[in-house]
Amino acid sequence: MARYKLGLLAGAAALMASISAVSARAETVSMFCSATDYELCEKGAAKWSKTSGHEVKINRMPQNLDDAIPIYQQLFAANSADVDVLYIDVIWLGMFKDHLADLAPLVPEDEVKAHFASATDAARLEDKLVAMPFYIDTGLMFYRKDLLEKYGKQPPKTWDELTATAKEVQDAERAAGSPDIWGYVWQGRSYEGLTCDALEWIASSGGGTIISNDGEVSINNPKAVEALTRARDWIGTISPQGVLNYDEEASRAIFESGNAVFHRNWPYVWGTSQAEGAGLVGKVGVMALPVGAAGEGSSGSLGTAYLGVSKYSKKQDIAADLLRYMVGLEDQKMRAIEGGYNPTVAALYEDKDVLAKIPFLEMAKAAFEESVARPSAVTGKNYNRVSRTFYRAVHEIISGADDVAGTVEQMARRIERDVKASD
Ligand code: GLC
């Protein structure tokens, strides 16, 4: 009896040893981190590395996410196993779905359910869960609370009110000895960010979302023309000429140096502008974007970020383990507290530590619920082509086109062709 027991124990010990030998073999997994949140991404990966014993090799994505598309395309075309975990912009889900592993068997259902259903549902394509949500991005309006108070102004509710308040405060501040201040800075460069800004002006003015959910190209309408004309007229009056070349970071730099009254950007600007030692601590207010006319819903563009596992990864299990940590509650909480990133894990919207750092989280959640999606689901692989046609035409308009209606009409005809492209 005693010998039998001993034998059993020895067998169990041998089994345990062999299990831990397998899991202890340190592997290296490789992931992409976006340039904007690189340090936080690196910190999360390092934490996982410490507990898992595996290494993470991090690749920094280009500053402008558009520039990552050809890099991904090359990796996928080569069936490359070089990168295991990928950062996926919401508009890429349809474009890259065929190259992403199905996460349904790799991520336990209760972990999936911890996220806002709308965010995970958007990543369920053709019976696969192609990615998991990492953080929510919705267009928000940041403003100089101190300056609005100084001039007795309320945060504006419509774009026309914003235009008037921006002009008044800008002119008064210039007269008071701040010659470099502008009323409003945003993203006017010819790139995906301009698609987001312009979609917001148009959708919040009742001009639709470029292409309707059932696939009809709807951009050629008077409300869209009016919204684009209003934006064109901002240049040189409340927005500097330089806006035509600003992306998120360039426009943020102007705002955070104290040279703008209003600033449209994503939630991370709360983190940067309120970081210890930053120049605008305590002086910034955040609100949902204005609307075109009373009665329209606020329409921040939806920019949720996701993580996915490459279908060509040779280490999908370990990659999924890293992904689960990075999108999980602990890491999202760290990112919210240290960087102002808005979580996709619903429970964090009731977390005291997070609420203490992001006091407008409830408002951001409402803005997220009202947000508008770019037409990437309905265009799938052609989204990038459609968006490029759109932002190039918008850029032409805001650069001073006289015939806004004609430019929109021509843009609509091109988009009709883009949606039918088959390569
Ligand atoms: C942000 C958004 C993303 C959008 C990009 C445009 O990164 O999260 O969805 O495409 O800005 O510049």
Nearest CA to ligand 1 atom 6: 193
pLDDT confidence of residue 23: 53
Q: What is the pLDDT of residues 37-95, one digit of tens each?
A: 999 999 999 999 999 999 999 999 999 999 999 999 999 999 999 999 999 999 999 99
Distance from residue 364's CA to the centre of ligand 1 (Å): 16
Confidence check: pLDDT of 136 > 90 = yes
Model confidence band, residue 394 (pLDDT cutoffs 50, 70, 90): very high
Rounded to the nearest 10°, the torsion over CA 242, 247, 252, 253 is -60
Distance from residue 166's CA to the centre of ligand 1 (Å): 25
Q: Which of 61, 63, 65, 251 to mutate to test the pocket of ligand 1 (most atoms within 8 A of CB)?
A: 65
Q: What is the pLDDT of residues 314-355, one digit of tens each?
A: 999 999 999 999 999 999 999 999 999 999 999 999 999 999
Nearest CA to ligand 1 atom 8: 303
Q: Is the pTM of this model over 0.75?
A: yes
pLDDT confidence of residue 326: 98
Confidence check: pLDDT of 418 > 60 = yes
The overall average pLDDT reported for the chain is 94
List the one residue out of 145, 134, 141, 131 whose CA is nearest residue 103.
131
Distance from residue 387's CA to the centre of ligand 1 (Å): 13
Q: Is the CB of 269 under 6 A from ligand 1?
A: no
Two tokens at 354? 């997070």
Confidence check: pLDDT of 150 > 80 = yes
Two tokens at 253? 């730099």
User: CB of 390 within 8 A of CB of 372?
Assistant: no
pLDDT confidence of residue 293: 79
**Dihedral (CA of 205, 207, 210, 215) sign:** positive
Confidence check: pLDDT of 17 > 50 = no
Instruction: Kindly report the backbone phi and psi dihedral angles of residue 375, in degrees, each rounded to the nearest multiple of 5, phi listed first.
Output: -75, 55
Read off the pLDDT of each residue in 373-398 and give the average, rounded to a whole number. Answer: 96
Distance from residue 193's CA to the centre of ligand 1 (Å): 6
Confidence check: pLDDT of 2 > 80 = no
User: CB of 393 within 8 A of CB of 183?
Assistant: no
Distance from residue 383's CA to the centre of ligand 1 (Å): 14
Distance from residue 89's CA to the centre of ligand 1 (Å): 7
Q: Is the CB of 193 under 6 A from ligand 1?
A: yes
Q: Is the CB of 95 under 6 A from ligand 1?
A: no
Model confidence band, residue 18 (pLDDT cutoffs 50, 70, 90): very low
User: CB of 167 within 8 A of CB of 238?
Assistant: yes
Q: Is 345 helix (H, G, I), strand (E, B) or coil?
A: strand
